Amino acid sequence: MKYLSIADAQGFIARALEAEKVPAADAKLIANLMVQSDLVGADGHGIFRLPAYLKRIRAGGVNLQPNIHVEREQGATALINGDNALGHLVMNRAVELALEKVKQNSVCWIGSHYGNHSGAASVYVRKLAEKGYIGIYMAVGNANHMAPWGGIDLLLSTNPIAIAVPAGKEPIVLLDIATTVAAYGKVKVAAQKGESIPDDWMIDKQGKPITDPKRSAEGSLLPIGGYKGYGLAVMIGLLAGALNNAAVGKGTIDFNAHHDLVTNTGQTIIAVDPSAFGNRDDFIARVIELVNDLKSSTTLPGVKEIRVPGEGAAKTMLERQKLGIPVSPELLGALNACARECGIATLAL
């Protein structure tokens, strides 16, 4: 495994995007946000996605000169029209607006439509938590990979949810999960590396496990917690998709298969100011107290430690800030193929 420094990764992504006519400022912002996914170990959502983004750009599937704007606004709520921009730009605007509104109203709900894939959900709620706010994110995934519980028709996506709670100087308590046992990005990474996937990730149309990720189109991802995960995916689809007049269910466009079509991706950001409910420092103290209680609790035989949401990502971030982003030979080949297509320098690791 080779490692690519954070600065080199951002520079490579920005150069590739600029070569495809993405404005320089937008390219740099997108590169920064993409690498933040890699920093926390969300390897299926960072630089790995660059080839797919470039395909969409070349196919005319995204708007490189978008008018990202607030389409509706009422009190502590707003609906952003992403104008089919690259997704990171839309979500960055949503977070900026959330920060404005939460300062004014103590709580806000920002929806968006006509967006695109924007990387790991944790990237955006982390921005809110770093400012001292609770952040919640929900989205409709960019392709349907899950059937309803007991069915075989692919009508739901991985529909992620992320929640970040500030913890003062301690690591942010952060949950970032797909409503499927595994995000589809992990299936794609396994396919690229030629690895098998666990038998509890996917089933075929007869209900039998799929372990070859290259057969993923033949079946359905399984929801977390059985019917409960299915139900959660439905509700997120309603709140991030239907509520925002975005694609959901049969209207969802598979951006892996149709690079030229508008996906109308729906996403939601919620921000909450803890000081609206009491003293902020006291809240942080209670957060840390619970984390410490969990960490110091008695473990089962063979278990080394109890972990809390966000702890693993925080450790990965520290490691990768020093070592860089791990790049497999397969990913390096894909990135250098992009470089040659874009007419920029290839990576030599």
What's the gap between Cα 182 and its chain centre? 13
Round to whole Å and give the CA distance between 1 and 323: 12
Cβ–Cβ < 8 Å for 183, 157: no
The H-assigned helical ranges of 107-150 are 122-130
Sheet strands (E) in 47-129 = 69-74, 77-81, 107-115
Query: With left for phi above 0 and alpha for psi between -120 and 50, is residue 166 left, alpha or beta?
Result: beta
Round to whole Å and give the CA distance between 118 and 187: 18
Where b means 16+ CB within 10 Å and e means fewer, 133-158 reads bbbbbbbbbbbbbbbbbeeeebbbbb
Question: Which of 88, 117, 145, 259 is the catalytic position?
Answer: 117
Query: With left for phi above 0 and alpha for psi between -120 and 50, is residue 84 left, alpha or beta?
Result: left
Other Cβ atoms closer than 10 A to 268: 23
What backbone torsions phi and psi does residue 138 show, to the nearest 5 degrees? -140, 150
Contacts of 293 (CB under 8 A, 6+ apart): none
Other Cβ atoms closer than 10 A to 105: 15
Partners of residue 136 on adjacent β-strands: 163, 270
Helix axes 87-105, 24-39, angle to 10 degrees: 80
CA distances, 15 to each of 20, 144, 345 (Å): 9, 31, 9
AA identity, residue 126 = R
Of 163, 159, 156, the closest CA to residue 309 belongs to 163
117 is catalytic: yes
Which residues are marked as active site? Answer: 117
